[in-house]
């Protein structure tokens, strides 16, 4: 029976399991970048970064960074065979042209309608929406990885977002510290949950109604 919330690494691992071999993927700055560490054996995604690299690899060993090779989060990366460089404008043409299979982002709030808020204003806010607004409407599939609740215990999966929107009706799946939830027909559809947590317990920390449509699997991840 598992009731301990997943760590960020475990959430990232679970999201990585749904990325198809050869998929073109953009990972949001910060927490979502962890997804790249957990590609399943026998599969290899092609990672895209808004500042103009396709096919970058893992971070170099400490002290061996080439600071001319960075991702959109200003972190040093390596290159895989066949990697390509291109202008920032061309990078966004790829995004807006629908050439990315998956975008995985963090979130402050996700609404049952699929609306996403992942930036905020104010002294502690993210200063701007950045490229996320393009990503959520350009990628073929948009997923979110996040804690299920805020640090003060409030739901992050809500009926309606209260923060500035990044995108409208764009999110199709959310991987949280407690569950995997699809968004379909403007509803939260529960797909997986921690085995030791009842649906009622999960509903108590979810702002929108959780719908059961078919079987609900156990959210099983390795100890990372």
- Catalogue the active-site residues: 50
Handedness of CA 46, 166, 91, 60 (dihedral sign): negative
């Amino acid at each position: 029976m598992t009731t301990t919330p997943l760590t960020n690494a475990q959430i990232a691992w679970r999201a990585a399991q749904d990325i198809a071999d050869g998929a073109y993927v953009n990972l949001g700055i910060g927490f979502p970048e962890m997804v790249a560490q957990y590609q399943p054996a026998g599969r290899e995604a092609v990672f895209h970064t808004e500042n103009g690299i396709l096919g970058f690899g893992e971070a170099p060993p400490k002290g061996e960074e080439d600071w001319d090779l960075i991702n959109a989060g200003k972190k040093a990366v390596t290159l895989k065979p066949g990697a390509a460089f291109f202008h920032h404008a061309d990078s966004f043409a790829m995004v807006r042209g629908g050439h990315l299979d998956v975008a995985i982002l963090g979130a402050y709030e996700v609404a049952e309608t699929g609306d996403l808020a992942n930036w905020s204003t104010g002294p502690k806010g993210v200063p701007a929406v950045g490229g996320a607004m393009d990503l959520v409407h350009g990628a073929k599939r948009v997923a979110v990885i996040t804690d299920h609740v805020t640090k003060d215990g409030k739901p992050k999966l809500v009926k309606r977002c209260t923060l500035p929107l990044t995108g409208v009706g764009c999110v199709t799946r959310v991987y949280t510290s407690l569950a995997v939830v699809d968004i379909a027909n403007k509803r939260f559809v529960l797909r997986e949950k921690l085995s030791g947590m009842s649906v009622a317990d999960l509903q108590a920390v979810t702002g929108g109604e959780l719908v059961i449509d078919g079987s609900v699997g156990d959210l099983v991840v390795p100890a990372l």
